[in-house]
Chains A and B, each alone.
Chain A
Amino acid sequence: MHWIALQPQPEAQPPDGLAGLADVWSALGWWALQFTPRVARLDDAVLLEVSASERLWGGRARLRHLLLESNQAPALIQHAEGATSLIAKARLLPGLSHTPAPELPLTALAAASPHLATLAALGCTRWGQLRALPRAGVARRFGAPLLQALDQACGQGPDRYPWLLLPEVFEASLELAAQVETAPALLFGARRLLEQLQLWLQLRQRAVLALVLCWTMDARRDTATQGELLLRCAEPTLDTVHLQRLLAEHLARITLPAPALSLQLRTVETLPRGGHTASLLPEAQRPGDSLHQLLERLGARLGPAQLLQLQPQADHRPERMQRWQPVSNATVLIANEPNAARAGALNHSQDQALYPSWLLATPQRLAVRQGHPHYPDRLTLLAGPQRLEAGWWDAEPSALRDYYVARSSVSGLLWVYRERLDHPQVEAGLAPRWYLHGVFG
């Protein structure tokens, strides 16, 4: 048996750029699980039993090198080794890293702490001195637990622990150091939880698709005590920076009814992580965010309904030939299909070349003086009419229009139409109305 004890350094600053982990011990335990399946937490140390997996890593020295240098732990750690778990743990104390077991002080044995004063009065301060005392007397005077702990520490009793497991679902909570009044300020705590999430995702080989951030609020105010925010990504991600930005956008729109006291982060949906597709050529990988990330960030601040994508429709009325709808298929936006584009351009009726590149969302009524449309002064009709009669199958009034290309001295070429009147309207003596519907941009 060979044990390694790890302990996060208490007042160590987190490395630059990292917010620090929400729960260092479980993070350290999860990280240690990649070296051996036998990882346990004992008080403030994480214990690894490595005798079974040493060969896999190429020997004890290689494993030590891996632990301490090449595969950096998520926090700054102290490290000690020993033949039993308690020896390894006792050697974490400063200055004891190579002390033989009988020389270790009794202060390093947790089971002896209630009896330290009595033992010191007996002149007994080292593990070896305590072992030299008669067992029956020690059991009678200090109780069986001390003797059991001593046996375990010296390798004469079994080292049994509830082994740590990497949870199936990530769930971590964080007590906030101070009450947080505004939602954006929750981000700092959430960043620490996200760091931990990233570690979990890396070790589980998964990418997150949806997660929930919950917060508990002060119950003294007569408001809800729980709040939560569901964050859903378009594609599974492992990128904490992206998640952070997304979270910041969402939190900026939330107002807290009462100060928040604690935070909790939970994954709702994760997917196994696909490999990263790397290009052979360095230039092919263009720097910057992916389009999915852009769309998510824009959607979070502007609202998903404000990001529009074109959907062509079959209709003769210009306002119904296309529909701009919220982006649903982002791959179409990037896809480069020159053949498809060319074929599409040819397929369309040639008359489409006569359409203007801008369409007014609602046709604008034009002033008519002496039978001529004005915008703002008299329009010169250059071409037309192009007659349109469509929509009679709909409930709303059908479109009976004559389209003209007109020129305005200030606005260039315009697309205007004159509403054709049906028979009763003509009889009633109505004058035809003119509308501006497009601009040749």
Chain B
Amino acid sequence: MAPSLPQTLAALGDAVWSADTLGGAPGATLASGYAALDAVLPGAGWPLDALSELLQPPGFHAEWRLLLPALVRLQQASPGALVLVGPPHVPFGPALQAQGLAVQRLLWLQVSEPQARLWATEQALRCAGVLAVLAWLPQVRAEQLRRLQLAAQTHGKPLFALRPAQAQAESSPAVLRLLLAPWPDSPLVQAQAQTQAQAQGADDLCLHVLKRRGPPLLLPLLLPARQGRLSAWLALGAKAVEGDGHALDRLTAAA
């Protein structure tokens, strides 16, 4: 009697990937620090030797919030500089340090021309003394990204490319593409996400996984409000703005 399909598949082991399961990451990964995000990422974390793309609508920034836990862990694990290529604003050291980042190891490359950004990113990836590269690439073509992806792969460095949300329609060689947005007020999306978690705060982050090694993720992911003193302050501060109190005093009392 011929063996049944599941038996055959079991015999083949890892050689066959069925399309409804999450692919394993070929390289090393680093846990993102968010359990909900890790659950949907192949290899349960950010790829350590590939290009990941984060798309954000104009004016919206959630990159530090999303990447910081992983970057802090990466910094603690090995020496090296963290390179920022052409960030849109000034990185605020005291705030980043308070969240655990070793800010003295940040290297900010102030470049504005698209070509110079690409060149600087590639040079940084080649350097042994670099830990990870965050590159803001507002204008970039797919073949240029492909070159960066190859550089990241060859030199085994994580590269996070931050691009505008309009780029989601373009094709991209990145192994992971995420679209970040503030949690929408529309009830339709909220109803869809009811199964995952209850949207509550003003600080929730909505995350669409556009591309990953695995089946497409149809529903957006909800990342809850950030923890710690900020959210505590937000909870207290809402009252303070309405009344006229000293929120910080009460925060100290609550902490």
Contacts and interface: CB of A to CB of B under 8 A. Distances in A.
Given A383-B233, A383-B237, A355 B202 contact: no
B234 A382 contact: yes
B146 interface: no
Nearest to A292: B129
Interface in A307-327: 307-310, 312, 318, 321-322, 324, 327
Interface in B88-112: 88-111
B237 A289 contact: no
A410 interface: yes
A92 to B, nearest CB: 46
A369 interface: no
B238 A382 contact: yes
A352 B129 contact: no
B120 A310 contact: no
A297 B60 CA distance: 33
Contacts of A310: 91, 93, 103-104, 106, 108
A220 interface: no
Interface residues of B, number: 68
A340 to B, nearest CB: 8
A413 B108 contact: no
A353 interface: yes
A324 B110 CA distance: 11
Given A321-B94, A322-B94, A353 B99 contact: yes
A405 B235 CA distance: 11
A344 to B, nearest CB: 6
Contact of B90 (A348, A358, A385): A358
A382 B202 contact: yes
A22 B64 CA distance: 53
B248 interface: yes
A441 B62 CA distance: 4
Given A298-B123, A302-B116, A441-B65, A334 B79 contact: yes
A334 B202 contact: no
A361 B123 contact: no
Interface string A401-441: 00011011111110000000000000000000000001111
A438 B241 CA distance: 19
A318 B92 contact: yes
Contacts of B130: 291, 294
A273 B65 CA distance: 45
A336 B89 CA distance: 26
A361 B90 CA distance: 6
B116 A356 contact: no
Nearest to A413: B203
B2 to A, nearest CB: 47
A293 interface: yes
Interface in A148-192: none
Interface in B31-90: 57, 59-65, 68, 75-76, 78-81, 87-90
A382 B119 CA distance: 41
Nearest to B116: A302
A359 B127 contact: no
A309 B65 CA distance: 21
B234 A333 contact: no
A290 interface: yes
A358 B91 contact: yes
B170 interface: no
A345 interface: yes
B147 interface: no
A331 B81 CA distance: 9
B61 A439 contact: yes
A386 interface: yes
A115 interface: no
Contact of A382 (B93, B237, B255): B237
B65 to A, nearest CB: 6
Contacts of B101: 341
A293 B244 CA distance: 56
Given A289-B127, A291-B81, A334-B129, A324 B97 contact: no
Most buried by A among B61, B95, B128: B95
B3 interface: no
A334 B81 contact: yes
B109 A348 contact: no
Contacts of A344: 97, 102
Given A355-B92, A357-B64, A411 B59 contact: yes
A287 interface: yes
B247 interface: yes
A265 B145 CA distance: 39
A67 interface: no
Contact of B80 (A306, A334, A342, A409): A334
A441 B64 contact: yes
Contacts of A301: 116, 119
A322 B101 CA distance: 15
Interface string B231-255: 0011011101100000110000001
Contacts of A338: 76
A278 interface: no
Given A348-B94, A412-B61, 20 more contacts: A289-B126, A291-B127, A291-B129, A298-B109, A298-B120, A298-B123, A302-B111, A302-B120, A309-B107, A312-B103, A318-B92, A322-B93, A332-B104, A332-B105, A357-B91, A358-B61, A358-B88, A383-B241, A384-B241, A439-B89
13 contacts: A307-B108, A308-B108, A334-B79, A336-B76, A345-B97, A353-B230, A354-B233, A357-B92, A359-B89, A384-B241, A407-B202, A413-B203, A440-B230
Interface of B: 57, 59-65, 68, 75-76, 78-81, 87-111, 116, 119-120, 123-124, 126-130, 155, 182, 185, 202-203, 228-230, 233-234, 236-238, 240-241, 247-248, 255
The 8 closest A-B pairs by CB, nearest first: A383-B237, A291-B129, A288-B128, A336-B79, A441-B61, A355-B95, A352-B98, A294-B127
Interface of A: 286-291, 293-294, 297-298, 301-302, 305-310, 312, 318, 321-322, 324, 327, 332-338, 340-342, 344-345, 348, 350-361, 380-386, 404-405, 407-413, 438-441
